[in-house]
Amino acid sequence: MLLGWLLRLLLIVLVLRALWRFVAGLMEGARQVPPRQAGPGAAAVPLVKDPVCGTYVVRAKALTAGTGSDTRHFCSEACRDRWLRERPSSQRSA
Give the pLDDT band of residue 94 (cuts 50, 70, 90).
very low
pLDDT at 14 over 90: yes
Of 50, 52, 45, 78, whose CA–CA distance to 62 is shortest? Answer: 50
Instruction: Give me the residue spans of the domains in the chain.
Output: 1-31, 47-92
Mean pLDDT of 23-32: 85
pTM of the model: 0.48
SS3 assignment for 11-60: HHHHHHHHHHHHHHHHHHHHHCCCCCCCCCCCCCCCEEECCCCCCEEEHH
pLDDT of residue 67: 79
User: Measured over all CA atoms, what is the biggest interatomic distance in the chain, rounded to whole angstroms?
Assistant: 93
pLDDT at 81 over 50: yes
Q: Residue 47: beta bridge partners? A: 58
